[in-house]
Structure 1
């Protein structure tokens, strides 16, 4: 999910993203053991879904939308191997349509999806409901957007910077937290306990508040907990009463497990249509960030409420608070040059396309993949909204292709360039509408000479701000990096492109802004002393320069070389023993034997540690937790390998002193260097950290 091409923005890392990143770590460890490459296998793009071409004057009417959806979604689901989908569209104060496709239940009695009856898991779209609840308390004067949140909490939140965290930071993903995935989504039916999850092993704060967009489930869940604190009402109960009940969302709940009245309406969650076995119901343990369950028609009511056109009850927010929530929430004072591009609102992402202001949010669990977009109109009750959710990931992540086809195709058909804010529903002639985008997507490219200078400044290797910086999974960054290369014509080649799997070329359209050539994404950079310190993409994600000591060009050769040497050393032991017996060569004398034995033990421990990490992360790819005892055993092996540097050094010294021959001296030196290299890697990437959460 992105402002333009809608790749996923998960409440937990999406199944595809988790597989890609876990596969990367497996590659770092296992591929080296097999003397293969040090990078993860490349992932191909999501299956292409053909979107029917828009007629010259496609009208945003029920009949046209239904016909268009019927042409896009079923074919995309078939191509991508998706089991079921639910969708709703609102326009100018009413539910224009709600439709279901495929199956909500498989087995002996397949059940077609009913958009009103069947419940789906919108994942991180839940954050919009949470942000709405927070803004209700801002409107009521119980929460100050810019006050230190510690005044609202009943536990000690560890922080690393003097700047306080505010509610504004939480809603804009700038509180500075690293990513954590331990227990984020569970499949054992456990009942979610928000406070317990927030208090237990909170993520480390790695960025100063308000400076670096870094998507955070923990931060959003903290925002939900503030509501609980200031109202004295459990978060799930508050949202039920003050959001769902107010606007007639009778098929929605944050309760996990679902209440009995809704449980039998839950759609199954599936891997793909080739394996249509319903998976266990997921529990998102930090419920405000992704615990919502809802129907397409209920999500339509939520969209109408945000467009100022709910059909009954009390408005969720007054007009001024709604406007505040929908506009960019941080400026150049906090973000510097990053503010020159798309920015987070107080909950929504800026997903503008074709010159139209679009705000939205996507969400992914292990099995459900969803997105909500609003096209604010020219006044109260005006505007358009689209919600879509799928109940399976699909073959080769096929859900990405059909989801993109729906989101981008809808915008291109009904809100093409040159139409007013009401799109083609008004014949493309409307002149009213939502505030314009806060950056000029259609600006002319800068002159070549100036672009060349700017591109040279950006060139380099970057890591995502959404990363597990202090945990033992930080090594995933090694193969999930983006490289920016300055080209002769002043454009930048990103490999892979931000929020995409293939390369992308960007051209400079401002001192801090870059536009995708042939696309609609916009990047913004921040510089300090002529050096780029960040590149923001998709509002809540920032590319940060890779520290020299973590550069893949340094780390992977050191790691690969170390592992090859250690594996060859282990393999050589039995070969040498057999050779000695067959030739009658006497074994080495006992002098220096303790150092040799300890060095060998450390060498074997290093190989076992890396093999164990590879197996463990493979388990993560299959949604399995790594037992704490298993991690501690692997850390023990890793520690023994590090300590073996001492006896390996003694062994080398002994071989040189006793002139045992150049082959033994070289072999001992190589093993020593390999143990040092492996030990450096383990320390640098936290494999020996006392905190084993991830």
Structure 2
């Protein structure tokens, strides 16, 4: 699956996570809510050696097996050791041949007492995560090629159950494959360890995600969309999805050791690499992806090399997966300005691939992550080359796996396909650019989001701030797909390029505001609603929580003080309002604690039972309804002139309950839907 169940714009996209970045998000939420075969491949084992120096800018190294091996051998062994990643597998193709496959580190570290087993790129299967989506998209295009599917037909034509759609515009396969069907994020059942009775239809029908965007207008990465496309393949072909892709994609491409089956077939079970948190830790259980099409593929590097060759139209010795017109259709941008407006001037999805251009070269790619495996595939259609990399561990740092993957694929591009001289330059007059920059300034959140239930609160973290710099430039903090600020200049109307970098963003705007910023093929940034701004929501939540906590602490302190001083018991007048207010205070704090624990579990891909979430909502509702007795208590204290201390305390409690209630309503903690 693609890193991050909920994508933080400034974080690596390669949720391409799930769990590592999900854990970071969960931690932030806790803090906020608590407020307080073709040619002869060369492969390992290879001893680490010093790789040759990188070529000067604009000068490419020769893309040969010897040079690639030396380069990889000089980088990966030391990187695995530094990051505590157990193993890696790599494949490189060029000019219709498998140039090299390499294995580094261990498929089994021996942590369970058995002998350590080095990674063998021919033998050991790694989990592909969302790289699987490319196989699913290929299967869809095969059926389009044969006339059994229409990319622009309403998907209702192919389904045997109803989708709860908000908008009248039809959802099409084109939308599903480009992540523009408009669905919000869905986390439940994404990855587990129970491979009992997997049923794709049942999984898709059970609590489907809400549609929150007009189809075709907002890129918003969606595992559900790809799973739905896979189910349509199953429906139209009359064959289980796993069986269809095995026979028509994997076997046809010469990938005999690859499979979507979960658990693995008996013949492959002793060939799968273990997954690890770090190289020093125990092996994790085999991961089960709840809906196989978006992320269940297991494959060795050699098979993935053959898949790249097939996508490049050079399946030497094997049958083509697609004819040339269909392959070209799959690999060109699938939506234009008619749907996306000026967002179409930025990175766009093809029918399955991300646009990952670098150095002026056209690059199509896809990353993927499970809890423990992290993969990336890139092909260069115009240069007849490709690289695949997979890691079997998270590493000791939260971003280790992402950074290592990026360093390899970007290093490959810079070494063998360096920058061309025809990079775009600024072409917008300064006055227009300054106006555009001023309109773009603001705070944004990712389009990959949940907006229909309690997980809306996660939107408080991972936001991006855009501000004007030097009058006509934009400072984006953090930069897209980065954790550091990035400076952008306008190179065409509403198209901005990173100063001294490679990334491009595009904006869709009206006369008075920017509606969306596309920063990656399947992701966009959307303006944050004023009421949900961090500077509003977090202070209200923090102050409310502090007041409620101090109120609870004051109860035993007050009781002890009255007993110690021999003070009279509090009068009975207003007793009912006081008791109900106390119940509301306690209910609100218990609800907040419940949300913190539940959200932390969910972001760690642990299911939270529905009755537990409903119980938390009841506590939250008790707190919200407590605003009424708290107001009665304040009015009574004022009417009876009970002194400024009592009146102030009653006023603060009313404020805290009202603030907590506002937060609960604004961030959908009380929404009827608890599907996530």
1:417 aligned to which of 416, 419, 432: 419
1:76 is matched with 79
* Aligned residue number for residue 92 of structure 1: 95
1:145 and 2:144 are equivalent in the alignment: no
Decide which of 108, 116, 120 is 2:122's aligned counterpart: 116
Instruction: Name the counterpart of 2:503.
Output: 521
- List aligned pairs for 1:610-625, cutoff 5 A: 610-625=592-607
- How many angstroms apart in 1 are the aligned matches of 2:546 and 2:51? 47
Decide whether aligned partners of structure 1 residues 600 and 6 sit closer, same or farther in structure 2, where only a CA change above 3 A counts. Answer: closer
CA contact (8 A) 2:51 2:72 kept: no
Q: 1:490 aligns with which of 442, 451, 472?
A: 472
Q: TM-score by structure 2 length?
A: 0.93
**TM-aligned CA deviation for residue 471 of structure 1:** 2.1
Give 1:27's match in structure 2, choosing from 28, 31, 42. 31
Aligned pairs for 1:39-188 (under 5 A) are 53-54=54-55, 56-107=59-110, 108-188=114-194
1:304 is aligned to 309
After superposition, what is the alpha-carbon deviation per residue over 1:448-502, rounded to whole angstroms, capped at 9, x for unaligned? 3332211101001111000111121110110111111112331111111122122
- For residues 87-133 of structure 1, the C-alpha deviation after alignment (integer angstroms, 9 at most, x for no partner) is 10110111000010000012230000000100001100000000000
Instruction: Tell me which residue corresponds to 1:320.
Output: 325
Selected match of 2:527 from 529, 545, 569:
545
> After the TM superposition, which residues 550-561 of structure 1 pair with which residues of structure 2 at under 5 Å, given as runs?
550-561=532-543
Other structure's SS at 1:256 match? coil
Q: Is the 8 A contact 2:184 2:449 kept in 1?
A: yes
> Residue 405 of structure 1: CA displacement?
1.2
Residues 113-159 of structure 1: CA deviation (Å, up to 9, x unaligned):
00010000110000000000000011011111111010000111110
Q: Which deviates further from its counterpart, 229-238 or 622-631?
A: 622-631
Residue correspondence of structure 1 range 375-394 to structure 2 within 5 A = 375-377=380-382, 383-394=384-395
Q: For residue 42 of structure 2, what is the aligned residue in structure 1? A: none
- Aligned partners of 1:23 and 1:621 also within 8 Å: no
Cα distance in 2 between the residues matched to 1:221 and 1:441 = 37
1:449 corresponds, among 431, 437, 451, to: 431
| Match 1:295 to one of 292, 297, 300 | 300
Contact kept, 8 Å, 1:77 with 1:399, in 2: the verdict is no
Q: Secondary structure at the match of 1:515?
A: strand
Structure 1 residue corresponding to 2:280, chosen from 266, 269, 274: 274
In structure 2, what is the Cα distance between the partners aligned to 1:482 and 1:330? 26
Alignment root-mean-square deviation, CA:
1.9
Q: Does 1:250 align with 2:250?
A: no
Residue 65 of structure 1: CA displacement?
Answer: 0.5
**Cα deviation 1:332-389 (Å, max 9, x = unaligned):** 11100100111110100100000000001000110000000000136xxxx0011100
The offset of 1:269, in angstroms, is: 0.4
State whether structure 2 residue 443 is matched by structure 1 residue 461.
yes
Q: How far apart, in 2, do the equivalents of 1:574 and 1:504 lie? A: 52
**Partner Cα distance (2:178, 2:256) in 1:** 29
Q: Which moved more, 1:331-340 or 1:615-624?
A: 615-624
1:575 counterpart SS class: helix
Confirm whether residue 664 of structure 1 aligns to residue 646 of structure 2. yes
**1:592 & 1:89 partners in 2: Cα distance?**
77
SS at match of 1:288: coil
> Residues 43-97 of structure 1, C-alpha deviation per residue, up to 9 Å, x if partnerless?
xxxxxx9995236551000100110011111121112111000010110111000
Query: Partner of 1:406 in structure 2?
Result: 408
Q: Note if contact 2:11-2:483 (Cα within 8 Å) is conserved in structure 1.
A: no
Distance in 2 separating the partners of 1:477 and 1:170? 24
Which residue of structure 2 aligns with residue 238 of structure 1? Answer: 244
Show the counterpart of 1:225: 231
- Conserved? CA contact 2:190–2:605, under 8 Å: no
Paired residues, number? 650
Distance in structure 1 (CA, Å) of the matches to 2:298 and 2:393: 15
Counterpart Cα distance in 2 of 1:159 and 1:6: 30
CA drift at 1:274: 3.1
Shift of 1:441: 5.1
Residue 674 (structure 1) shift = 0.8
* Cα 1:548/1:92, change in 2 over 3 Å: same
Q: Which is further off, 477-486 or 494-503?
A: 494-503
- How big is the shift at 1:445? 5.6
Q: Does structure 2 conserve the Cα–Cα contact (< 8 Å) formed by 1:9 and 1:124?
A: no
1: distance between equivalents of 2:609 and 2:144? 42
1:9 Cα deviation after fit: 2.8
Distance 1:412 1:105 in 2: 32
- Check conservation: 2:426, 2:489, Cα contact below 8 A: no
Counterpart-to-counterpart distance in 2, 1:539 and 1:118: 31
Tell me if structure 2 keeps the 8 A contact 1:534–1:543: yes
Sort the Cα spacing of 1:52 and 1:562 in 2 relative to 1 into closer, same or farther, 3 A.
Answer: farther
SS of aligned partner of 2:489: strand
Partner Cα separation in structure 1 for residue 53 and residue 584 of structure 2: 62
Q: Single out whichever of 444-453 and 115-124 deviates more from structure 2.
A: 444-453
Contact kept, 8 Å, 2:331 with 2:350, in 1: the verdict is: yes
Q: Please tell me whether the aligned partners of residues 453 and 672 of structure 2 are also in contact (alpha carbons under 8 angstroms).
A: no
Render the CA deviation track for 1:16-53: whole Å, top value 9, x for unaligned: 220121112111122x1x3xxxxxxxxxxxxxx99952
What secondary structure does 1:505 align onto? strand
State the TM-score, normalized to the length of structure 1.
0.91
Superposed CA offset, 1:411-462 (max 9, x none):
000000239xxxxxxxxxxxxxxxxxxxx85222644333221110100111
User: Secondary structure of 2:298's match?
Assistant: coil
What is the CA distance between 1:639 and its match in structure 2? 1.2
Q: Secondary structure at the match of 2:480?
A: coil
**SS of the residue aligned with 1:158?**
coil
User: Any gaps of 5 or more consecutive residues in structure 2?
Assistant: 4-9, 37-49
CA distance in 1, matches of 2:124, 2:458: 37
> In the aligned structure 2, how far is the partner of 1:632 from the partner of 1:597?
24
Secondary structure of the equivalent of 1:342?
coil
Q: Alignment partner of 2:380: what SS? A: strand
Quote the residue 1:213 is aligned against. 219
Judge conservation of contact 1:176–1:212 (CA < 8 Å) in 2: yes
